[in-house]
Amino acid sequence: MAARRYILLLGTISIISLTFNFLLPTNLTPQKARKLSLPNLKSEIKQHAPSGLNLFKPATHKPPPPSNSTASSEGWFSSWKWLNPFSSNIAKNEERSALPPLEKRCPVYTFFDDSNAKEDRVLLAWRRAFWAQGFRPLVLGRAEAEEHGLYRLVRGRFNEGFEREVMKWLAWGRVGTGGALVDYRIIPMASRDDYGLTALRRCEFDGVTRYEGWGNRLFAGDKSSIDTFLKHITDTATNNTSSIEEISETAPEGLIRIEPHPRSFADYTPSVVADRWPDLSATQLPDLINSHLHETFLSIYNASITLLSPLPIELQPAYAAITTLAARLSLCPPGNPIPGSCPSNRPCNFCKNPPVAVKPFISKDPSTFLLAAVPHPYTYYALMDTTFSLSENTQRSIRYVRVQTRDRDAWLHKATTPPLDKAVGPGTRVVAIKEIVAAHAGANFSSLWVSAEAPVLEEEIPWIFGFTLASEAELKIEKPAGDERRNVVFRKTVGEVLGGKVGKMEEDKKVARIRWAVEAWNLGSAEVWKFTGAFVERMVQERKEWSASEKEFGRGLSGEEVEGD
């Protein structure tokens, strides 16, 4: 019976299936929705993009990749918790320092297609000055313009002068993600907290900004507005159009903003140079720019170049490098081809040498520039008592360190009292120094901190300050002789401190053990030393990575950039 029921059920299902097959419509596929075709600026640009591959064209910049917020090294890492007094609380590693996330540098672009070596030196001055002010300068050329999708629509269509102006915009539009387009003879010449520089450094633009009375010298804008304005140029400009300023008058409402004449920049374009300094030769212009930058620095920090020097006699060898740097900074540049001349954006008097002041504690005086060299606590102990060597007897040295209770974190305590009260603990003192070392680019005070054992190299100085300094020999600076015994001890200590830091001292467990004991007994001073060294290391690494990326374009390079790997 069961078998009959199953046969009957299967037969019924088959009959129903056949019925649906014959009676239902055969086309059950839904009709595809129609796609609306909207005008697309990107596709229009792409339509005219060059398709041929040219193996011999100059190197070009590529649009920047997404930023890397996880940058780090063996000695440091970026963290929003960087103001924690002790980095080991975050990293769980005694040798790594927590640094603030790297400030994003707003890109500034210039267009350069001149093969004249004299102009190349001006371009180098432009790059240094903008880098020192916290920007990311990039040099563009005609090769970048030719990669833009609208290049074919522009080539040969306008008069020569206007076409060159459009080439700048095509290069900017091809590479840029927003920022500023600047003539390479426009140099930032103001304090770091200057309103105009601070606003530009934020890199927040809505539309295209041009500046009253400045023609094509300086523009700023976001990527989409740059593309829109380029499309406006190709749609409306004719062979009679003479300038970007002229075509901007007919731009769509709200696209172009006009700001007052910028006072943050000095103008060294040919017309201004011919008017202000008619006897200046082309070879002297880079020297004039460099001198004006240095003299502007001295006028901003006119009170003094200040050396942070707790215990200046005992620790004199540790401060020797920054003492020499302070002397070089404080002296007016001897290479000014027109002494007494002023940059176009600011009145001035004849250059005056500010004094070099020695101060035992930190300050945030906007009229002084602070130089500080932080000694490792191992170096501190070695220089404070030169009657014996820390590295000779491990047990004796460790006992010596432990009985120096009154000198625990001594350098840190002296460097921060005042402004802090004597009773304040090392954690608060560490944070106070970290805030000064890592002050943001627009802070109203400025300083340079280094570790006493590893001051910045000479090649970094122009990128830090934005100008080159005359040598010690040229300025006839005599180095203080100091205590020869302490000088010998310091030279020996540098090898022991830095060797232990990079791992070379693993061969000598004795020295490494003493160094670690010193750090454990002076956590605050050791933290400040590590933080300062890591901050400088990252600063130099950032600059070198940028220089390496620019080297292949071969424009406005320093001797160090040309010779480097």
Give the residue from 477, 489, 514, 450 showing the smallest Cα distance to 315. 489
Query: What one-character DSSP code corresponds to residue 272?
Result: H
Query: What one-character DSSP code corresponds to residue 96?
Result: -
Mean pLDDT of 430-448: 91
Which DSSP helix (H) or strand (E) runs through 93? Answer: none
Residue 342 has pLDDT above 60, yes or no: yes
* CATH assignment, 105-267: 3.90.550
Compute, in degrees rounded to 10, the torsion defined by CA atoms 455, 505, 529, 326.
Answer: -20
In whole angstroms, give the CA distance from residue 86 to residue 531. 10
Instruction: Count the neighbouring beta carbons within 10 Å of the beta carbon of residue 550.
Output: 19
Residue 339 contacts residue 350 (beta carbons within 8 Å): yes
Query: What's the pLDDT at 56?
Result: 45
Q: How confident is the model at residue 66 (pLDDT cuts 50, 70, 90)?
A: very low
In whole angstroms, give the CA distance from residue 398 to residue 202. 50
Compute the mean pLDDT over every residue in the chain, rounded to the nearest whole number: 85
For the packed helices 484-502 and 509-521, what is the interaxial angle rounded to 10 degrees? 100
What is the DSSP code string of 378-433?
A: HHHHHHH-TTS-TTT-HHHHHHHHHH-GGGTTHHHHHHTTTTS-TT--HHHHHHHH
User: Tokens 């290479």 map to which residue?
Assistant: 335
Q: What is the CA radius of gyration of the chain?
A: 32
Query: What's the pLDDT at 71?
Result: 60
Residue 332 has pLDDT above 90, yes or no: yes
Q: Please tell me whether residue 373 adopts helix, strand or coil conformation.
A: strand
Residues recorded for the chain: 565
Query: What's the pLDDT at 379?
Result: 94
Q: How confident is the model at residue 57 (pLDDT cuts 50, 70, 90)?
A: low
In whole angstroms, give the CA distance from residue 264 to residue 443. 16
| 189-246 pLDDT, tens digit each | 999 999 999 999 999 998 999 999 899 999 999 999 999 999 999 898 888 888 898 8
Q: How confident is the model at residue 4 (pLDDT cuts 50, 70, 90)?
A: low
35: its two tokens: 């796609």
Query: What one-character DSSP code corresponds to residue 235?
Result: H
Segments making up each domain of the chain, as ranges: 105-267, 278-551
Give the residue from 273, 287, 265, 278 showing the smallest Cα distance to 122. 287
Residue 253 contacts residue 300 (beta carbons within 8 Å): no
Measured between alpha carbons, how far apart are the two ends of the chain, in Å?
93
In whole angstroms, give the CA distance from residue 219 to residue 180. 6
| 503-542 pLDDT, tens digit each | 454 547 778 888 888 999 999 999 999 999 999 999 999 9
Give the residue from 468, 422, 166 showing the smallest Cα distance to 293. 468
Residue 24 has pLDDT above 50, yes or no: no
Query: What's the pLDDT at 309?
Result: 95
422: CB partners within 8 A, 6+ apart: 413
Query: What's the pLDDT at 445?
Result: 82
